[in-house]
């Protein structure tokens, strides 16, 4: 069953056509990576799925329901959570206070502050520290934890590794490993192609607002994805 279906989606930033007739489907429990160079439209697509960017045309369905016109806060209550690029924490609030904010628009479920800290143990000693004093990796863990506090069934992760040291990225992804095997549907935007192909079961490559390549990571060759990533693949919407 498809948890998420996007059909012929067009997205604009003023006159800029950020996403062009994008269609994709994500199965329940699947981990899908959306890859592409800067400006490909990846973040705008995730924001549209979360309800933070209004489509010019097209349809977004979640668990079979048309949510194209559903506002963002109601989508959170339906089970969609976005971890935005840049994390966007409340800098003067503590880790614990930022996590509690995730509860406000969410739904009932198993995620608590203690469970988040169990998942991201590097936050244990920092749970009462202000978010503005955290390292980049600790901030990213807090941002993901805040999203989990809404008890999502669809988690949207935008640029998990952006601005982090390799060690911090490894730590965040190690903490996410159990979550990725737990049955939560995950769509992640990741510029680190090697990382994306290691953690996702399927890759969707976007170029200049269009899907140009998609397929299971087990059957896609790295060279082919790299060519599509940089626009060197002359095939359009090739499925492996």
- Asked whether 164 and 136 are in contact (CB, 8 A), the reply is yes
Question: How does pLDDT run across 164-205, given as a tens digit for each residue?
Answer: 888 888 888 888 888 888 889 999 998 888 889 999 999 999
> In the chain, where does DSSP find H-type helix?
42-50, 72-78, 95-104, 113-119, 136-148, 166-180, 193-199, 222-229
Question: How does pLDDT run across 34-52, given as a tens digit for each residue?
Answer: 999 888 999 999 999 999 9
Helices 95-104 + 136-148 axis angle, to 10: 30
Q: Which fold has domain 2-239?
A: Rossmann fold (3.40.50)
Mean pLDDT value of segment 62-81? 96
Residues contacting residue 143 through CB under 8 Å, at least 6 positions apart: 83, 84, 87, 88, 89
Q: What is the pLDDT of residue 233?
A: 54
Per-residue pLDDT at 220 exceeds 60 = yes
Beta bridge partners of 32: 187, 202
Question: How does pLDDT run across 121-172, given as a tens digit for each residue?
Answer: 999 999 999 999 999 999 999 999 999 999 999 999 998 888 888 888 888 8
Domain positions in the chain: 2-239
Running DSSP on this structure, what letter comes out for residue 237?
S
């Amino acid at each position: 069953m498809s948890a998420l279906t996007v059909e012929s989606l067009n997205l604009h930033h003023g006159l800029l056509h950020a996403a062009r007739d994008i269609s994709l489907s994500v199965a329940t429990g699947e981990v899908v990576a959306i890859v592409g160079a800067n400006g490909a439209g990846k973040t705008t697509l995730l924001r549209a799925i979360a309800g933070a960017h209004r489509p010019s045309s097209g349809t977004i369905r979640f668990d079979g329901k048309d949510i194209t016109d559903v506002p963002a806060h109601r989508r959170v209550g339906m089970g969609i959570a976005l971890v935005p690029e840049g994390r966007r924490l409340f800098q003067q609030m503590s880790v614990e206070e930022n996590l509690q904010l995730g509860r406000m628009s969410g739904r009932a479920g198993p995620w608590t502050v203690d469970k988040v800290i169990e998942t991201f143990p590097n936050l244990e000693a920092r749970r009462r520290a202000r978010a503005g004093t955290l390292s980049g990796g600790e901030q990213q863990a807090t941002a993901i934890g805040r999203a989990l506090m809404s008890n999502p069934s669809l988690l949207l992760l935008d640029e998990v590794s952006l601005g982090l040291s390799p060690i911090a990225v490894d730590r965040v992804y190690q903490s996410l490993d159990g979550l990725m095997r737990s049955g939560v549907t995950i769509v992640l935007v990741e510029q680190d192609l090697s990382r994306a192909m290691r953690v996702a079961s399927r890759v969707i490559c976007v170029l200049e607002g269009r899907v140009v390549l998609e397929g299971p990571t087990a059957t896609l060759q790295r060279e082919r994805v790299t060519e599509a990533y940089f626009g060197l693949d002359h095939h359009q919407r090739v499925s492996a």
